[in-house]
């Protein structure tokens, strides 16, 4: 005799924390898979996008701007430099540090990753209308800002984990 399938109790199935966690898992998988298909990781996208938006900078500055911890930043820069997506040059003001800049190949890779990320957003948010997508992003931004403010300290105002995604 087979056991009847268990149903998820409605008492927790509709809790926002549960829904966010489950949706975040799907989002993380979709983003990581999309970046992987393009030969990248979330840190790669975040670093390339930060360089595109803010221009060349030291690794420490890039870490603050992108939310990538310095220990992860070194490995990310190394990976991207090996593929000629970023370039390291000595800082003329302080030869002990390097300035990281985006190469033409890095700009092309960033465009590919942005296209992949747009497709991933469409897949993730497929059941929502454009207006619902905008409203969802507004509400999630408001929640994130609230919790970032509550968790902020002068040393680490915010920190975003990578686990392969980034967008």
Contact yes or no for 67/150 (Cβ under 8 A): no
Give the pLDDT of the chain (167 residues) as one tens digit per residue: 566 666 756 788 889 999 999 999 999 999 999 999 999 999 999 999 999 999 999 999 999 999 999 889 999 999 999 999 999 999 888 888 999 999 999 999 999 999 999 999 999 999 999 999 999 999 999 999 998 888 875 444 445 555 455 55
Q: Name the residue among 123, 133, 135, 40 with its Cα closest to residue 79.
A: 40
Task: Indicate the length of the chain as a whole number.
Answer: 167
If you search the block for the tokens 């949706």, which residue do you land on? 23
Going from the N-terminus, what domains does the chain have, and what CATH number goes with each?
A: 39-151 (1.10.10.10)
Alpha helices in 67-129 (DSSP H): 70-82, 104-124
Q: In terms of C-beta density within 10 A (0-12 exposed, 13-18 middle, 19 or more buried), how is residue 151 classed?
A: exposed
Q: Considering the entire predicted model, what is its pTM?
A: 0.81
């Amino acid at each position: 005799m087979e056991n009847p399938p268990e149903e998820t109790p409605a008492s927790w199935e509709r809790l926002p924390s549960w829904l966010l966690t489950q949706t975040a898992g799907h989002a993380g998988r979709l983003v990581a898979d999309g970046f992987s298909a393009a030969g990248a990781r979330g840190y790669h996208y975040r670093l390339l996008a930060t360089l595109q938006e803010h221009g060349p900078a030291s690794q420490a500055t890039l870490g603050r701007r992108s939310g990538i911890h310095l220990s992860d930043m070194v490995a990310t820069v190394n990976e991207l430099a090996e593929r000629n997506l970023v370039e390291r040059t000595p800082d003329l003001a302080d030869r002990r540090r390097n300035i990281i800049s985006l190469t033409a190949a890095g700009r092309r890779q960033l465009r590919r990753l942005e296209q992949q990320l747009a497709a991933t957003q469409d897949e993730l948010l497929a059941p929502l209308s454009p207006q619902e997508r905008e409203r969802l992003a507004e509400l999630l931004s408001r929640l994130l800002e609230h919790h970032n403010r509550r968790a902020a300290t002068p040393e680490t105002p915010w920190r975003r984990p990578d686990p392969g995604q980034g967008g």
